[in-house]
Amino acid sequence: MAYLAGRMLISVEAGAPNNGKGEDTTARVKYATVRGRRHPYVSAQAVRRWIRDGMAGRGAPASPVTRVGKAQNRAQKANTDADPITYADDDLFGYMRAGAKKDDAATTLRDSPFMLGTLMSVAPVHPTEDFGVMSRGVGEPVLHGHEFYTADLAAPFLFDLPRVGTFTLPNADGVGRPNYLTQEQALQVAQAAALGAGTEMFRGQGAVRLPVQERRHRAALLLEAVAHLHGGAKQALHYGDRVPSVIVMVPFKGGVNPLAHVISGDEGGLLVRGDVLRKELAAWSGEWIPPVRVGWRPGFRDDLRADFEKECAQEIAEGTLVVDHPRTVLLGLASEMRGGALDAWFDDAAE
Protein backbone atom coordinates (compact mmCIF):
# COMPACT_ATOMS: atom_id res chain seq x y z
CA MET A 1 0.00 0.00 0.00
CA ALA A 2 1.41 3.39 -0.93
CA TYR A 3 -0.77 6.29 0.16
CA LEU A 4 -2.75 7.42 3.16
CA ALA A 5 -5.64 9.40 1.70
CA GLY A 6 -7.69 11.64 3.91
CA ARG A 7 -9.88 14.64 4.42
CA MET A 8 -9.99 16.80 7.52
CA LEU A 9 -12.37 19.43 8.83
CA ILE A 10 -11.49 22.21 11.26
CA SER A 11 -14.26 24.19 12.90
CA VAL A 12 -13.48 27.89 13.42
CA GLU A 13 -15.66 29.76 15.89
CA ALA A 14 -15.34 33.56 15.79
CA GLY A 15 -11.75 33.27 14.60
CA ALA A 16 -9.22 34.65 12.14
CA PRO A 17 -6.55 31.96 11.94
CA ASN A 18 -5.02 33.07 8.62
CA ASN A 19 -4.95 36.69 7.51
CA GLY A 20 -4.51 38.19 4.08
CA LYS A 21 -3.11 41.57 3.09
CA GLY A 22 -4.40 44.37 5.31
CA GLU A 23 -6.15 47.49 4.08
CA ASP A 24 -5.27 50.75 5.84
CA THR A 25 -5.77 49.94 9.53
CA THR A 26 -7.92 46.82 9.01
CA ALA A 27 -6.61 43.24 8.99
CA ARG A 28 -8.45 41.10 6.45
CA VAL A 29 -8.99 37.34 6.52
CA LYS A 30 -8.32 35.26 3.43
CA TYR A 31 -11.30 34.24 1.33
CA ALA A 32 -12.07 32.91 -2.13
CA THR A 33 -15.10 33.89 -4.20
CA VAL A 34 -17.10 30.86 -5.35
CA ARG A 35 -20.17 31.51 -7.49
CA GLY A 36 -20.29 35.05 -6.21
CA ARG A 37 -20.13 34.10 -2.51
CA ARG A 38 -17.25 34.43 -0.05
CA HIS A 39 -15.63 31.29 1.31
CA PRO A 40 -12.99 32.00 3.98
CA TYR A 41 -9.95 29.75 3.87
CA VAL A 42 -6.73 28.89 5.62
CA SER A 43 -3.81 28.33 3.26
CA ALA A 44 -2.09 24.95 3.15
CA GLN A 45 1.17 26.79 3.87
CA ALA A 46 -0.23 27.97 7.21
CA VAL A 47 -1.50 24.53 8.26
CA ARG A 48 1.76 22.89 7.24
CA ARG A 49 3.53 25.40 9.46
CA TRP A 50 1.26 24.43 12.37
CA ILE A 51 2.14 20.76 11.80
CA ARG A 52 5.87 21.51 11.57
CA ASP A 53 5.68 23.45 14.82
CA GLY A 54 3.84 20.53 16.38
CA MET A 55 6.57 18.13 15.29
CA ALA A 56 9.21 20.41 16.80
CA GLY A 57 7.18 20.53 20.00
CA ARG A 58 7.32 16.74 20.10
CA GLY A 59 11.10 16.70 19.97
CA ALA A 60 11.94 16.70 16.24
CA PRO A 61 14.50 19.48 15.60
CA ALA A 62 13.34 21.85 12.87
CA SER A 63 15.58 22.50 9.88
CA PRO A 64 17.22 25.93 10.35
CA VAL A 65 16.01 28.69 8.02
CA THR A 66 18.33 31.25 6.43
CA ARG A 67 16.98 34.41 4.82
CA VAL A 68 19.14 36.02 2.14
CA GLY A 69 18.88 38.73 -0.49
CA LYS A 70 17.37 41.79 1.20
CA ALA A 71 20.59 43.19 2.63
CA GLN A 72 22.33 42.67 -0.69
CA ASN A 73 19.49 44.41 -2.56
CA ARG A 74 18.82 41.23 -4.51
CA ALA A 75 15.84 38.97 -4.89
CA GLN A 76 14.75 37.78 -1.47
CA LYS A 77 14.99 34.10 -0.61
CA ALA A 78 14.55 31.97 2.47
CA ASN A 79 15.98 28.45 2.59
CA THR A 80 16.01 25.66 5.10
CA ASP A 81 19.19 23.60 5.41
CA ALA A 82 17.76 21.33 2.69
CA ASP A 83 18.93 18.30 4.64
CA PRO A 84 16.10 15.73 4.63
CA ILE A 85 18.20 13.01 6.19
CA THR A 86 19.02 14.98 9.31
CA TYR A 87 15.74 16.90 9.57
CA ALA A 88 12.36 15.15 9.40
CA ASP A 89 10.54 18.33 8.37
CA ASP A 90 12.77 18.77 5.30
CA ASP A 91 11.97 15.17 4.43
CA LEU A 92 8.19 15.34 4.94
CA PHE A 93 7.45 18.86 3.68
CA GLY A 94 10.03 19.29 0.94
CA TYR A 95 12.04 22.34 -0.09
CA MET A 96 13.78 24.11 -2.95
CA ARG A 97 17.20 25.63 -2.45
CA ALA A 98 18.49 27.53 -5.47
CA GLY A 99 22.24 27.53 -5.97
CA ALA A 100 24.09 30.76 -6.70
CA LYS A 101 24.69 31.28 -10.43
CA LYS A 102 28.06 32.93 -9.85
CA ASP A 103 29.28 29.78 -8.10
CA ASP A 104 27.67 27.48 -10.68
CA ALA A 105 26.00 25.75 -7.74
CA ALA A 106 23.23 23.27 -8.36
CA THR A 107 19.65 23.76 -7.24
CA THR A 108 18.53 21.10 -4.80
CA LEU A 109 14.88 20.34 -4.20
CA ARG A 110 12.47 17.78 -2.83
CA ASP A 111 8.79 17.25 -3.47
CA SER A 112 6.69 16.93 -0.36
CA PRO A 113 5.54 13.38 0.49
CA PHE A 114 2.78 15.03 2.56
CA MET A 115 0.34 16.85 0.28
CA LEU A 116 -2.37 19.08 1.72
CA GLY A 117 -5.12 21.11 0.09
CA THR A 118 -6.49 24.49 1.10
CA LEU A 119 -8.76 24.48 4.14
CA MET A 120 -11.80 26.04 2.48
CA SER A 121 -15.11 26.91 4.10
CA VAL A 122 -17.68 24.31 3.02
CA ALA A 123 -20.39 27.00 2.87
CA PRO A 124 -20.38 30.71 2.03
CA VAL A 125 -19.69 33.03 4.94
CA HIS A 126 -19.52 36.78 5.14
CA PRO A 127 -16.73 37.79 7.57
CA THR A 128 -17.56 40.20 10.39
CA GLU A 129 -15.47 43.35 10.77
CA ASP A 130 -14.59 44.17 14.35
CA PHE A 131 -13.88 47.82 15.12
CA GLY A 132 -11.29 48.50 17.83
CA VAL A 133 -9.87 51.48 19.66
CA MET A 134 -6.58 51.77 21.54
CA SER A 135 -7.21 54.54 24.06
CA ARG A 136 -5.27 53.40 27.12
CA GLY A 137 -2.86 56.13 28.22
CA VAL A 138 -2.95 58.14 25.01
CA GLY A 139 -4.54 61.51 24.33
CA GLU A 140 -5.69 60.65 20.84
CA PRO A 141 -7.17 57.14 20.42
CA VAL A 142 -5.76 54.86 17.75
CA LEU A 143 -8.41 53.23 15.55
CA HIS A 144 -8.00 49.77 14.10
CA GLY A 145 -10.10 46.88 12.85
CA HIS A 146 -9.95 43.25 11.84
CA GLU A 147 -12.16 40.58 10.34
CA PHE A 148 -13.20 37.23 11.80
CA TYR A 149 -15.69 34.51 10.95
CA THR A 150 -17.35 31.27 12.05
CA ALA A 151 -17.07 28.44 9.54
CA ASP A 152 -16.29 24.77 8.97
CA LEU A 153 -13.17 24.44 6.81
CA ALA A 154 -12.30 21.22 4.95
CA ALA A 155 -9.24 20.08 3.01
CA PRO A 156 -7.97 16.87 1.39
CA PHE A 157 -4.56 15.40 2.10
CA LEU A 158 -2.46 12.59 0.68
CA PHE A 159 0.56 11.05 2.41
CA ASP A 160 2.93 9.17 0.08
CA LEU A 161 4.36 6.82 2.70
CA PRO A 162 6.97 4.95 0.61
CA ARG A 163 8.62 8.29 -0.22
CA VAL A 164 9.21 9.12 3.45
CA GLY A 165 12.97 8.85 3.97
CA THR A 166 13.48 7.92 0.30
CA PHE A 167 15.66 10.06 -1.96
CA THR A 168 15.90 9.18 -5.66
CA LEU A 169 19.07 9.81 -7.64
CA PRO A 170 19.71 10.90 -11.24
CA ASN A 171 20.96 8.22 -13.63
CA ALA A 172 24.39 8.23 -15.24
CA ASP A 173 23.26 10.80 -17.82
CA GLY A 174 21.78 13.06 -15.18
CA VAL A 175 18.26 12.18 -16.30
CA GLY A 176 15.44 11.69 -13.84
CA ARG A 177 14.03 13.43 -10.84
CA PRO A 178 16.83 13.58 -8.29
CA ASN A 179 14.86 13.69 -5.09
CA TYR A 180 17.20 15.24 -4.57
CA LEU A 181 20.72 14.47 -3.39
CA THR A 182 23.77 12.91 -4.97
CA GLN A 183 24.42 9.39 -3.74
CA GLU A 184 27.65 10.52 -2.11
CA GLN A 185 25.92 13.36 -0.24
CA ALA A 186 23.09 11.19 0.95
CA LEU A 187 25.22 8.31 2.13
CA GLN A 188 27.79 10.59 3.72
CA VAL A 189 25.18 12.37 5.83
CA ALA A 190 23.37 9.13 6.62
CA GLN A 191 26.54 7.39 7.73
CA ALA A 192 27.55 10.36 9.83
CA ALA A 193 24.17 10.21 11.52
CA ALA A 194 24.54 6.44 11.97
CA LEU A 195 21.16 5.89 10.34
CA GLY A 196 22.30 2.99 8.19
CA ALA A 197 20.82 4.19 4.89
CA GLY A 198 21.13 1.88 1.90
CA THR A 199 20.68 2.08 -1.86
CA GLU A 200 17.98 0.30 -3.87
CA MET A 201 15.65 0.79 -6.82
CA PHE A 202 12.55 2.85 -6.15
CA ARG A 203 9.88 3.49 -8.80
CA GLY A 204 12.37 2.78 -11.58
CA GLN A 205 15.19 4.90 -10.21
CA GLY A 206 18.13 4.37 -7.94
CA ALA A 207 17.45 5.68 -4.47
CA VAL A 208 18.91 6.11 -1.02
CA ARG A 209 16.47 4.97 1.67
CA LEU A 210 16.60 5.37 5.40
CA PRO A 211 15.84 2.26 7.47
CA VAL A 212 12.17 1.50 7.91
CA GLN A 213 12.44 2.19 11.64
CA GLU A 214 13.29 5.83 10.91
CA ARG A 215 10.71 6.13 8.13
CA ARG A 216 7.89 4.80 10.31
CA HIS A 217 9.00 7.16 13.13
CA ARG A 218 8.76 10.20 10.86
CA ALA A 219 5.34 9.30 9.49
CA ALA A 220 4.03 8.68 13.01
CA LEU A 221 5.47 11.99 14.16
CA LEU A 222 3.40 13.84 11.56
CA LEU A 223 0.18 12.08 12.57
CA GLU A 224 0.87 12.86 16.23
CA ALA A 225 1.38 16.53 15.36
CA VAL A 226 -2.03 16.61 13.62
CA ALA A 227 -3.57 15.01 16.72
CA HIS A 228 -2.24 17.97 18.75
CA LEU A 229 -2.75 20.61 16.04
CA HIS A 230 -2.60 24.22 17.21
CA GLY A 231 -1.62 27.58 15.82
CA GLY A 232 -2.94 30.42 13.73
CA ALA A 233 -3.22 34.19 13.91
CA LYS A 234 -5.23 36.27 16.39
CA GLN A 235 -5.00 33.67 19.17
CA ALA A 236 -4.96 36.39 21.85
CA LEU A 237 -8.30 37.79 20.63
CA HIS A 238 -9.86 34.73 19.01
CA TYR A 239 -8.38 31.71 20.70
CA GLY A 240 -9.52 28.50 19.05
CA ASP A 241 -8.76 24.82 19.06
CA ARG A 242 -7.35 23.60 15.74
CA VAL A 243 -7.57 19.85 16.33
CA PRO A 244 -9.74 18.47 13.48
CA SER A 245 -13.40 18.15 14.40
CA VAL A 246 -13.76 15.42 11.76
CA ILE A 247 -11.07 13.47 9.95
CA VAL A 248 -11.46 10.53 7.56
CA MET A 249 -8.49 8.39 6.46
CA VAL A 250 -8.06 5.32 4.27
CA PRO A 251 -4.90 3.55 3.02
CA PHE A 252 -4.97 3.55 -0.77
CA LYS A 253 -2.89 1.99 -3.54
CA GLY A 254 -2.77 4.94 -5.91
CA GLY A 255 -2.41 8.69 -5.71
CA VAL A 256 -6.19 9.20 -5.83
CA ASN A 257 -8.24 10.56 -2.95
CA PRO A 258 -11.68 8.91 -2.86
CA LEU A 259 -12.83 11.10 0.03
CA ALA A 260 -13.17 14.41 -1.84
CA HIS A 261 -16.96 14.59 -1.51
CA VAL A 262 -17.44 12.82 1.81
CA ILE A 263 -17.00 16.09 3.72
CA SER A 264 -18.55 18.93 1.77
CA GLY A 265 -21.26 21.54 2.08
CA ASP A 266 -23.98 23.55 0.42
CA GLU A 267 -25.86 26.76 1.11
CA GLY A 268 -27.27 25.13 4.23
CA GLY A 269 -23.87 24.31 5.69
CA LEU A 270 -21.79 21.22 6.43
CA LEU A 271 -22.45 17.77 4.95
CA VAL A 272 -20.71 14.54 6.04
CA ARG A 273 -22.08 11.89 3.73
CA GLY A 274 -21.93 8.23 4.60
CA ASP A 275 -23.69 7.32 1.35
CA VAL A 276 -20.93 8.98 -0.68
CA LEU A 277 -18.25 7.15 1.32
CA ARG A 278 -19.92 3.77 0.77
CA LYS A 279 -20.26 4.34 -2.99
CA GLU A 280 -16.64 5.51 -3.32
CA LEU A 281 -15.33 2.50 -1.43
CA ALA A 282 -17.40 0.19 -3.61
CA ALA A 283 -16.12 1.87 -6.77
CA TRP A 284 -12.51 1.48 -5.60
CA SER A 285 -12.91 -2.08 -4.34
CA GLY A 286 -9.51 -3.80 -4.07
CA GLU A 287 -7.64 -0.49 -4.02
CA TRP A 288 -7.91 0.20 -0.29
CA ILE A 289 -7.28 -1.59 3.00
CA PRO A 290 -9.86 -1.57 5.80
CA PRO A 291 -10.64 -0.17 8.19
CA VAL A 292 -11.53 3.33 7.11
CA ARG A 293 -10.65 5.46 10.13
CA VAL A 294 -13.07 8.24 11.05
CA GLY A 295 -12.36 10.69 13.85
CA TRP A 296 -15.32 12.72 15.11
CA ARG A 297 -15.14 14.96 18.15
CA PRO A 298 -17.93 14.44 20.70
CA GLY A 299 -20.47 17.22 20.66
CA PHE A 300 -19.64 18.38 17.15
CA ARG A 301 -22.74 18.20 14.96
CA ASP A 302 -24.24 15.20 16.71
CA ASP A 303 -27.14 15.27 14.25
CA LEU A 304 -24.83 14.70 11.29
CA ARG A 305 -22.89 12.04 13.18
CA ALA A 306 -26.07 10.09 13.92
CA ASP A 307 -27.05 10.15 10.24
CA PHE A 308 -23.52 9.15 9.17
CA GLU A 309 -23.33 6.22 11.58
CA LYS A 310 -26.81 5.05 10.59
CA GLU A 311 -25.86 5.12 6.90
CA CYS A 312 -22.63 3.19 7.60
CA ALA A 313 -24.03 0.85 10.26
CA GLN A 314 -23.14 -2.29 8.30
CA GLU A 315 -19.52 -1.22 7.76
CA ILE A 316 -19.19 -0.27 11.44
CA ALA A 317 -20.61 -3.64 12.53
CA GLU A 318 -18.22 -5.48 10.19
CA GLY A 319 -15.23 -3.45 11.38
CA THR A 320 -14.40 -2.08 7.94
CA LEU A 321 -15.10 1.39 9.31
CA VAL A 322 -14.26 2.63 12.80
CA VAL A 323 -15.43 5.87 14.42
CA ASP A 324 -13.70 7.39 17.44
CA HIS A 325 -12.24 10.66 18.69
CA PRO A 326 -9.83 12.22 16.11
CA ARG A 327 -7.00 12.21 18.65
CA THR A 328 -7.60 8.54 19.45
CA VAL A 329 -7.71 7.62 15.77
CA LEU A 330 -4.54 9.56 14.87
CA LEU A 331 -2.50 8.44 17.87
CA GLY A 332 -3.68 4.86 17.45
CA LEU A 333 -2.57 4.83 13.82
CA ALA A 334 0.77 6.41 14.80
CA SER A 335 1.24 3.74 17.46
CA GLU A 336 0.59 0.97 14.94
CA MET A 337 3.20 2.51 12.66
CA ARG A 338 5.79 2.80 15.41
CA GLY A 339 5.23 -0.82 16.39
CA GLY A 340 5.95 -2.08 12.87
CA ALA A 341 2.48 -3.49 12.20
CA LEU A 342 2.10 -1.32 9.10
CA ASP A 343 5.56 -1.66 7.56
CA ALA A 344 4.00 -2.91 4.31
CA TRP A 345 2.52 0.57 3.84
CA PHE A 346 6.03 1.96 3.41
CA ASP A 347 6.59 0.06 0.15
CA ASP A 348 4.64 0.29 -3.07
CA ALA A 349 1.93 -2.32 -3.57
CA ALA A 350 2.90 -5.23 -5.82
CA GLU A 351 1.19 -5.12 -9.19
Q: How would you write the pLDDT of the chain (351 residues) with one tens digit per residue?
A: 689 999 999 999 999 999 888 777 788 899 999 999 999 999 999 999 999 999 999 999 999 888 776 655 566 677 888 888 889 999 999 887 765 555 445 567 788 999 999 999 999 999 988 887 776 877 777 777 889 999 999 999 999 999 999 887 766 665 555 455 655 665 555 554 456 677 788 888 888 888 899 999 999 999 999 999 999 988 888 888 899 999 999 999 888 899 999 999 988 899 999 999 999 999 999 999 999 999 999 999 999 999 999 999 999 999 999 999 999 999 999 999 999 999 999 998 765
| Maximum distance among all Cα pairs of the chain, rounded to whole angstroms | 75
CA distance 252 to 257: 8
| Axis crossing angle, helix 302-311 with helix 274-283, rounded to the nearest 10 | 40
Query: Considering only CA atoms, which of 192, 195, 221 is closest in space to residue 209?
Result: 195
Instruction: Enter the DSSP assignment of 259.
Output: T
Instruction: Please provide the distance, in angstroms rounded to a whole number, between the alpha carbons at the two ends of the chain.
Output: 11
Distances (CA, A) of 164 to 27, 134, 176, 293: 38, 49, 19, 21
Query: Considering only CA atoms, which of 59, 117, 46, 118 is closest in space to residue 88?
Result: 59
Name the burial class of residue 228, with classes exposed (0-12), middle (13-18) and buried (19+) by CB atoms within 10 angstroms of its CB: middle
Instruction: Enter the DSSP assignment of 70.
Output: T
Number of Cα atoms under 13 Å in the Cβ half of residue 207: 19
Q: Fill in the amino acid letter for 23.
A: E
Write down the pTM of the prediction: 0.89
